[in-house]
Amino acid sequence: MQRTLIIFKPDTVQRRLVGQILQRFESKGLRIAALKLLQVDRPLGEKHYAEHQGKPFFEGLIDFITGGPVVVGVLEGNEAITVVRSMLGATNGAAAAPGTVRGDFSISKQNNLIHGSDSPESALREIALWFRPEEVVDYTIDG
Ligand code: CMP
Protein backbone atom coordinates (compact mmCIF):
# COMPACT_ATOMS: atom_id res chain seq x y z
CA MET A 1 0.00 0.00 0.00
CA GLN A 2 1.39 3.37 -1.01
CA ARG A 3 0.14 6.96 -0.84
CA THR A 4 0.63 9.70 -3.40
CA LEU A 5 -0.32 13.36 -3.63
CA ILE A 6 -2.40 14.58 -6.54
CA ILE A 7 -3.27 18.18 -7.40
CA PHE A 8 -6.12 18.98 -9.75
CA LYS A 9 -4.59 22.21 -11.01
CA PRO A 10 -6.59 25.39 -11.69
CA ASP A 11 -7.18 24.41 -15.35
CA THR A 12 -8.93 21.20 -14.21
CA VAL A 13 -11.21 23.07 -11.81
CA GLN A 14 -11.96 25.80 -14.38
CA ARG A 15 -12.77 23.21 -17.05
CA ARG A 16 -14.96 21.24 -14.61
CA LEU A 17 -12.98 18.07 -15.18
CA VAL A 18 -12.31 17.19 -11.52
CA GLY A 19 -15.07 14.58 -11.22
CA GLN A 20 -14.28 12.86 -14.52
CA ILE A 21 -10.59 12.54 -13.76
CA LEU A 22 -11.12 11.50 -10.12
CA GLN A 23 -13.42 8.77 -11.42
CA ARG A 24 -10.58 7.36 -13.52
CA PHE A 25 -8.41 6.99 -10.41
CA GLU A 26 -11.24 5.42 -8.38
CA SER A 27 -12.18 3.06 -11.22
CA LYS A 28 -8.56 1.93 -11.42
CA GLY A 29 -8.78 0.82 -7.78
CA LEU A 30 -7.12 3.71 -5.96
CA ARG A 31 -8.99 5.14 -3.01
CA ILE A 32 -9.21 8.61 -1.55
CA ALA A 33 -7.41 9.15 1.78
CA ALA A 34 -7.75 12.96 1.72
CA LEU A 35 -9.37 15.59 -0.52
CA LYS A 36 -9.94 19.36 -0.33
CA LEU A 37 -10.38 22.46 -2.48
CA LEU A 38 -8.26 25.51 -1.72
CA GLN A 39 -6.80 28.68 -3.15
CA VAL A 40 -2.99 28.33 -3.24
CA ASP A 41 -0.87 31.30 -2.14
CA ARG A 42 2.56 32.02 -3.62
CA PRO A 43 4.59 30.70 -0.65
CA LEU A 44 2.81 27.34 -0.81
CA GLY A 45 3.15 27.17 -4.60
CA GLU A 46 6.87 28.04 -4.37
CA LYS A 47 7.45 25.39 -1.69
CA HIS A 48 5.63 22.72 -3.66
CA TYR A 49 7.60 23.50 -6.82
CA ALA A 50 10.91 24.35 -5.06
CA GLU A 51 12.87 21.95 -7.29
CA HIS A 52 11.94 24.06 -10.34
CA GLN A 53 13.12 27.39 -8.83
CA GLY A 54 15.38 29.16 -11.32
CA LYS A 55 13.96 27.40 -14.38
CA PRO A 56 12.61 29.69 -17.13
CA PHE A 57 9.03 28.52 -16.59
CA PHE A 58 9.08 28.88 -12.77
CA GLU A 59 7.38 32.29 -12.38
CA GLY A 60 4.72 31.39 -14.94
CA LEU A 61 4.14 28.10 -13.14
CA ILE A 62 3.58 29.91 -9.83
CA ASP A 63 1.22 32.39 -11.55
CA PHE A 64 -0.66 29.40 -12.96
CA ILE A 65 -0.93 27.33 -9.76
CA THR A 66 -2.08 30.39 -7.77
CA GLY A 67 -4.41 31.58 -10.54
CA GLY A 68 -7.54 29.80 -9.27
CA PRO A 69 -8.56 27.13 -6.80
CA VAL A 70 -7.07 23.64 -6.89
CA VAL A 71 -8.36 20.35 -5.54
CA VAL A 72 -5.61 18.47 -3.73
CA GLY A 73 -5.84 14.91 -2.55
CA VAL A 74 -4.07 11.82 -1.32
CA LEU A 75 -4.71 8.59 -3.19
CA GLU A 76 -3.66 5.22 -1.88
CA GLY A 77 -3.31 1.73 -3.23
CA ASN A 78 -0.81 -0.77 -4.55
CA GLU A 79 2.04 1.12 -6.29
CA ALA A 80 -0.08 4.30 -6.20
CA ILE A 81 2.80 6.61 -7.21
CA THR A 82 3.68 4.76 -10.41
CA VAL A 83 0.07 3.96 -11.23
CA VAL A 84 -0.96 7.64 -11.03
CA ARG A 85 2.09 8.82 -13.00
CA SER A 86 1.38 6.34 -15.79
CA MET A 87 -2.29 7.30 -15.86
CA LEU A 88 -1.29 11.00 -16.18
CA GLY A 89 0.99 10.49 -19.18
CA ALA A 90 3.90 12.66 -20.32
CA THR A 91 4.27 16.13 -18.75
CA ASN A 92 3.63 17.83 -22.09
CA GLY A 93 0.01 17.26 -22.99
CA ALA A 94 0.87 17.54 -26.69
CA ALA A 95 3.18 14.53 -26.36
CA ALA A 96 1.11 12.49 -23.92
CA ALA A 97 -0.33 9.24 -25.22
CA PRO A 98 -4.06 8.99 -25.92
CA GLY A 99 -5.76 7.18 -23.07
CA THR A 100 -3.78 9.08 -20.46
CA VAL A 101 -5.31 12.04 -18.62
CA ARG A 102 -3.04 14.57 -20.32
CA GLY A 103 -3.22 12.75 -23.64
CA ASP A 104 -6.99 12.97 -23.58
CA PHE A 105 -7.52 16.44 -22.08
CA SER A 106 -4.40 18.64 -22.47
CA ILE A 107 -2.26 20.02 -25.28
CA SER A 108 -0.01 22.17 -23.06
CA LYS A 109 3.28 21.78 -21.15
CA GLN A 110 2.17 23.98 -18.28
CA ASN A 111 -1.61 23.51 -18.18
CA ASN A 112 -1.36 19.77 -17.84
CA LEU A 113 -4.28 19.35 -15.42
CA ILE A 114 -2.89 17.11 -12.67
CA HIS A 115 0.25 16.87 -10.60
CA GLY A 116 1.25 13.48 -9.16
CA SER A 117 4.17 12.81 -6.83
CA ASP A 118 7.15 11.36 -8.71
CA SER A 119 8.79 9.24 -5.96
CA PRO A 120 8.15 7.92 -2.45
CA GLU A 121 10.31 10.74 -1.05
CA SER A 122 8.34 13.39 -2.97
CA ALA A 123 5.05 11.85 -1.87
CA LEU A 124 6.02 12.03 1.80
CA ARG A 125 7.23 15.63 1.46
CA GLU A 126 4.22 16.77 -0.56
CA ILE A 127 1.58 15.09 1.61
CA ALA A 128 3.11 16.76 4.69
CA LEU A 129 3.18 20.11 2.87
CA TRP A 130 -0.49 20.06 1.84
CA PHE A 131 -2.19 18.16 4.67
CA ARG A 132 -2.15 18.10 8.44
CA PRO A 133 -1.74 14.50 9.67
CA GLU A 134 -5.35 14.30 10.89
CA GLU A 135 -6.66 15.28 7.44
CA VAL A 136 -5.33 12.02 5.94
CA VAL A 137 -7.74 9.33 7.01
CA ASP A 138 -6.88 5.71 7.78
CA TYR A 139 -9.80 3.41 7.08
CA THR A 140 -10.60 0.01 5.68
CA ILE A 141 -13.17 -0.88 3.06
CA ASP A 142 -13.69 -4.09 1.17
CA GLY A 143 -11.07 -4.79 -1.49
P1 CMP B 1 4.03 18.90 -12.69
O2 CMP B 1 4.01 17.43 -12.87
O3 CMP B 1 3.11 19.52 -11.70
O4 CMP B 1 5.55 19.35 -12.32
C5 CMP B 1 6.11 20.58 -12.70
C6 CMP B 1 5.20 21.38 -13.55
O7 CMP B 1 5.84 22.44 -14.25
C8 CMP B 1 4.62 20.51 -14.64
O9 CMP B 1 3.74 19.58 -14.11
C10 CMP B 1 4.05 21.56 -15.58
O11 CMP B 1 2.82 22.10 -15.11
C12 CMP B 1 5.13 22.64 -15.48
N13 CMP B 1 6.14 22.54 -16.55
C14 CMP B 1 7.06 21.58 -16.73
N15 CMP B 1 7.82 21.85 -17.81
C16 CMP B 1 7.37 23.02 -18.31
C17 CMP B 1 7.75 23.83 -19.41
N18 CMP B 1 8.76 23.49 -20.20
N19 CMP B 1 7.07 24.97 -19.61
C20 CMP B 1 6.05 25.32 -18.80
N21 CMP B 1 5.64 24.59 -17.73
C22 CMP B 1 6.29 23.45 -17.49
Provide the domain count of the chain.
1
Asked, for residue 142, whether it belongs to a domain, the answer is no
Please state the ipTM of this predicted complex: 0.96
* CATH number of the domain where residue 17 is located: 3.30.70.141
| Other CB atoms within 10 Å distance of the CB of residue 72 | 23
Asked, for residue 64, whether it belongs to a domain, the answer is yes
Asked, for residue 114, whether it belongs to a domain, the answer is yes
Give the span between the Cα atoms of 82 and 63, in whole angstroms. 28
C-alpha 63 – ligand 1 centre gap (Å): 12
pLDDT tens profile 75-111: 999 999 999 999 999 999 999 999 999 999 999 999 9
Residue 115 designated active-site: yes
Give the span between the Cα atoms of 136 and 68, in whole angstroms. 23
Range of the domain at 93: 2-133
Rounded to the nearest 10 degrees, the angle between the axes of helix 80-88 and helix 18-28 is 130
Q: What is the pTM of this model?
A: 0.97
112 lines ligand 1 (CB under 6 A): yes
